[in-house]
Amino acid sequence: MAKVAFIGLGTMGFHMAGHLACEGHEVRVYNRTAARAELWCEQFAGESAPTPREAAVGAELVMTCVGNDDDLRCVVLGPDGAFAGMASGSILVDHTTASATVARELAALAAERELGFLDAPVSGGQAGAEAGMLSVMVGGDPAFYERAAPVIESYAKLVKRMGPVGSGQLTKMVNQICVGGLIQALAEGLHFAQAAGLDAQAAMQVISQGAAQSWQLDHRHQSMLEGKFDFGFAVDWMRKDLAIVLDEARRNGAQLPVTALVDQFYAEVQRMGGGRWDTSSLITRLKPVR
Is the sign of the CA dihedral 228, 230, 231, 237 positive or negative? positive
Q: At what angle do helices 69-76 and 100-112 cross, to 10 degrees?
A: 10
Half-sphere exposure of 219 (CA within 13 A, CB side): 17
* Dist CA 140 CA 161 (whole Å): 8
Q: CA angle, 180 as apex, 178 and 184 as ends, to 5°?
A: 120
Say how far apart CA 80 and CA 83 lie, in whole Å.
8
Q: Among 157, 172, 228, 287, which one carries the catalytic annotation?
A: 172
Contact 169, 139 (CB under 8 A): yes
Q: How many Cβ atoms are within 10 Å of 89's Cβ, its own excluded? A: 10
Q: Which residues contact 232 (CB under 8 A, 6 or more apart)?
A: 11, 125, 126, 127, 278
172 is annotated as an active-site residue:
yes
Chain-centre distance for alpha carbon 56: 22
CA distance 214 to 235: 20
The SS3 assignment for 52 reads helix
As annotated, the active-site residues are 172
